[in-house]
Structure 1
Amino acid sequence: MAESDSGEKTEEPTAKKLSEARKKGQIARSKDLGTMFVLVGSAIALMFMGNSLVESLAFMMKNQFSLSRQEVMDINALFAVASTNVSLIIKPMGWIFAIIILAAFIGNTLLGGISFSWEAMMPKLSKMSPIAGFKRMFGIKAYVELIKSLMKFFVVFFSAYLLLTSLFEQILSLSIEAIPFNFAHAVDLLLWMFLALGLSLIIIVAVDAPYQKWDHTRQLKMTKQEIKDEHKNSEGSPENKGRIRRTQYEMSQRRMMADVPESDVVITNPTHFSVALKYDASQGGAPQLVAKGIDEMAIHIRTIAKEHGVEIIASPALARSLYYTAEVNEDIPEELFAAVAQVLAFIYQLNEHKKGKAKRPVPLAKSLPIPDDFRY
């Protein structure tokens, strides 16, 4: 069997396939990356706002335990004290939650970006299938997650061991420090250890993030036939494109033939090439090529010209030059002005002779002034 028909998904996913997968909510995500950002964000938030939070809690406790008898007996006074206490902790707690939420947002969108999919939120029976559940439990992903869990355990374990070893003397010295400075020192040590343990997950993330991206691409890989089908569906089959091109060509030919009766002269070679020219002296400018063709099309142009009384001049070299260097409905090249001017002048004199207003013109010269670069 040919390689293209093997059905193996060996090709990278196309932009369309990636876009459709994104709409379905299928994007690369690293849970460990989000977890690391949340842990580090929490440590940073507590470091910056921890003192403010502790001071607010200490003031609240002191305020709660120093109520007078009158305040205890007055429900309105109790509500006033409670509202004051709550207002004290709102600001530090608000900043802590804001930093953690921002860290969670960055960590969960850093890989894969922002994506919202209604389709991913819809319930699917396949997710509730016991067979599918067993496949997930004993599949490759399950083994990968097991290896990651073991790695996380050993990374955190060794990181904690190194931290405790390096800070062991400081931890022991807490017992001989004065109160409350030892409490502040202990909290400071705990926060730095918390931050270091969170940052230790960078080792896991450095492995997990590239793997998740690779696995996402692997799942979306396509067969060669799928790429062909997608290309065919998006741009149309070769048969349809050929049919469209033929239709467009026929329409352009019909428009071109409709302009032949309005032309001033048709120059031929005299059998294989035919070009029709039109010159409007009132508007000035250069003569325009309104139609051209070879073989059957050339015969068709000459037939229409004869039916409508358009003069036909045999000039093989000029006919070939105009055919290859001028486009339909565009001015002829400047290099052919002199040769075409002689032809138009001859046609003008011939028309005047037919009206009885002038003598028969001298026959057109067989050799017209055509530059060597324009001879075909």
Structure 2
Amino acid sequence: MAEEDGQERTEEPTPRRLEQAREKGQIPRSRELSTALLTLGGSVALVSMGAGYVDTLLELMRAGFALEWRDIFEPTRPAQALGHALLTMLGLLAPFLLLMWVLALLAPIAIGGWNWSAESLAPKWERLDPLTGIGRLFSLHALAELGKALAKFLLVGSVAIWVLHDAEPELLGLAAEPLPLALAHAGTRIGELALWLAAPLLLIAGFDVPFTLWQHAKELRMTLQEVKDEMKDIEGRPEIKGKLRRMQMEFAQRRMMDQVPGADAVIVNPEHYAVALKYEAETMKAPKVLALGIDEIALRIRALAGASGVPVVESPLLARALYYNAKIDRDIPVALYLAVAQVLAYVFQLRADHELPGAPIRMPEVEVPAGVRTE
């Protein structure tokens, strides 16, 4: 019955629904992707810059322990030493922190794009409803989160145990190494451990990203009735109606202009009217109107006809009669058969004799019946 009533959410979200969701801050986000990229980026930074970090920290330690006892009682000397140490640490950590900040921004943008929504900052009081909270505990989303948490625990834990077990002799041997070498060695091993831990996180993110996109699309699906209501709402707006009308007119004009180069003749009033006609004796029972217009559109038809080599015939009475009585993509009115036949016969004869002029053709005014004549 739900499907018959149109209440089943089977329809893909419309562009307006997607736009409204973004305005509310409802966009796909994968925390697993963020965690994986941050872990991977941090571990790569530790491996590549770990030795430099250790050397700088050793220098700071030596400088701190090298203070003479007299310097401690100087009012400015301890503050200078502390300030120097803080600036050195800031310069040391700045590239790492900048990398983490960039990755923290890129990871969410990667699947949901950049979005700012003040509405998402507003408190949602419905989340305080205990019944709703209990329902969320047993939802598909909660089960998926539980599955991801268990997968992370098992995969990351297994990889950590394996890496630590493999590196056990090396780690125990650090105690026998000189302090600078042991610190550098330990920093490298920590970075390598982080790299190994990033691998299962990337695997989990590879499953989580498609699931997040599918779940987001599923949440935004609409019922058939919602789609119909939205279309009625959009079509009922005056600005939308006006835009649709303008688009339809522009499309019709483009289509009409595209047909002008295929016309057999363009009949014009020298300044204001233009009508493009086509006639094929084998397939048409009467000449057909391909394009018509006045003023600016008439000038465009004339210009396009001239550029395409279509004959332009000046016949003011016939041009006005065709404009007011004929329709685009329709046969000309029966009352104008004879007048149009005279013009086309004249044009076809000039073409057969290869005497078509480049300028508009001036011919004696043809007889236009009084019933369709427009002065």
TM bucket normalised to smaller: 0.5 to 0.7
1:167 match: 167
Q: Can you give the 5+ residue segments of structure 2 that lack an aligned partner in the other structure?
A: 250-268, 274-288, 295-311, 328-332, 350-360, 369-375
Match of 1:297? Answer: none
Which residue number in structure 1 is paired with residue 309 of structure 2?
A: none
Alpha-carbon distance in 1 for matches of 2:18, 2:124:
21
Return closer, same or farther for 1:126/1:315 CA change in 2, 3 Å cut-off.
closer
Structure showing greater radius of gyration is: 1
The one-character-per-residue Cα deviations of 1:274-333 (angstroms, maximum 9, x if unpaired) are x9xx9xxxxx95222331069xxxxxx9xxxxxxxxxxxx966336x68xxxxxxxxx98
- Closer/same/farther in 2, CA of residues 41 and 346 from structure 1, 3 Å limit: closer
Distance 1:285 1:7, change over 3 A: same
Matched, 1:88 2:88: yes
Contact 1:36–1:107 (Cα < 8 Å) also in 2: no
Counterpart of 2:303?
Answer: none
The structure-2 alpha-carbon separation of the partners of 1:227 and 1:336, relative to structure 1 and needing over 3 Å to count, comes to farther
Partner of 1:344: 365
Match of 2:20 in 1: 20
Amino acid at match of 1:317: Y
- Structure 2 equivalent of residue 119 of structure 1: 119
Identity of aligned residues (%): 30
> Is the CA contact (8 Å cut-off) linking 1:10 and 1:223 kept in structure 2?
yes
Q: Does 1:286 align with 2:314?
A: yes
Q: Give 1:5 deviation, angstroms.
A: 2.9
Offset, 1:342:
7.7
1:99 matched residue in structure 2: 99
Give, in angstroms, the shift of residue 231 of structure 1.
2.0
Q: 1:18 to 1:191 in 2, by over 3 A?
A: same
Q: Which residue of 2 aligns with 1:158?
A: 158
> What per-residue deviation string (whole Å, max 9, x for no partner) do you get for residues 313-367 of structure 1?
x966336x68xxxxxxxxx9866758998872568xxxxxxxxxxxxxxxxxxxx
- What is the rounded CA distance, in whole Å, between the counterparts of 2:343 and 2:147 in structure 1? 74
Checking the alignment, whether the CA contact within 8 Å between 1:29 and 1:212 is kept in structure 2 is yes
Residues 252-275 of structure 1, C-alpha deviations (whole Å, 9 max, x = no match): xxxxxxx9xx99xxxxxxxxxxx9
- Are 2:136 and 2:142, in contact at CA under 8 Å, matched by a contact in 1? yes
Structure 2 residue aligned with 1:317, among 327, 337, 345?
337
Once residues 342 and 179 of structure 1 are traced to their aligned partners in structure 2, the CA distance between those partners, rounded to angstroms, is: 107
1:119: Cα distance to partner? Answer: 0.6
Equivalent in the alignment of 2:214:
214
State the match for 2:223 in structure 1.
Answer: 223
Q: Alignment partner of 1:110: what SS?
A: helix
- Measured after TM superposition, the shift of residue 180 of structure 1 is 3.7
CA RMSD of aligned residues (A): 3.8
Structure 1 85/5 Cα, relative in aligned 2: closer, same or farther at 3 Å? same
The amino acid that maps onto 1:197 is L
Look up the match of 1:365. none
C-alpha deviation, 1:174, in angstroms: 3.5
SS in 1 for 2:324: strand
Q: Distance in 1 between matches of 2:29 and 2:183?
A: 40
Displacement over 4 Å in runs of 4+ = 1-4, 175-179, 332-343
Aligned to 1:8: 8
Q: Give the secondary-structure state (helix, strand or coil) at the position aligned to 2:113.
A: coil
In structure 2, do the counterparts of structure 1 residues 178 and 62 end up closer, same or farther at CA, with 3 Å as the change threshold?
closer
Query: How much has 1:183 moved relative to structure 2?
Result: 3.3
Amino acid in structure 2 at the alignment position of 1:216: H
Is the CA contact (8 Å cut-off) linking 1:53 and 1:89 kept in structure 2? no
SS in 1 for 2:323: strand
Q: How far apart in 1 are the matches of 2:346 and 2:11?
A: 53
- TM-score relative to the length of structure 1: 0.65
Contact 2:126 2:132 in 1 (8 A): yes
Quick check: 1:45–1:100 contact (8 Å CA) kept in 2?
no
